[in-house]
Amino acid sequence: MAKNFYPYRAARQSGLQGSLELLGMLRTAAGRAVDQLLVWTERARSRRSLLALDDRMLHDIGIDRATAEHEAAMPFWRLEEGDAATRVTTKAFTARRLSTSCCG
């Protein structure tokens, strides 16, 4: 009887290992989804904030009023190559993430 017990135990453990791998993949996917939501939220906030800037401030970040209005009109999920809001958002998000990720 002892011989039959061990193969069952090994099969059960390998099933557990597969479940743990699946759990790890789900956690990774959930983490990526949360990261994407944070990027979209920050992008939407950045695009709205562009409209609040005056022409001098827009000039300081290298865009004009027409570009700011174009960026603000785009949906948060849409990303265009070289869009000003994304450049600003990426810098802000990365800086914020780096400042909160270290527990030193």
CA 96 to chain centre: 12
Q: What is the pLDDT of residue 53?
A: 92
pLDDT higher than threshold 80 for residue 7: no
Query: Which tens digit of pLDDT belongs to each residue from 41-61?
Result: 998 898 889 899 999 999 998
Helices 84-101 and 2-52 sit at what angle, rounded to 10 degrees? 130
Task: Calculate the alpha carbon distances from 9 to 1, 17, 19 in Å.
Answer: 13, 12, 15
Please report, for the chain, the start and end positions of each structural domain, with discontinuous segments joined by +.
2-101
**Cα radius of gyration rounded to whole Å, the chain:** 24
pTM of the prediction? 0.51
* Mean pLDDT, the chain, integer: 75
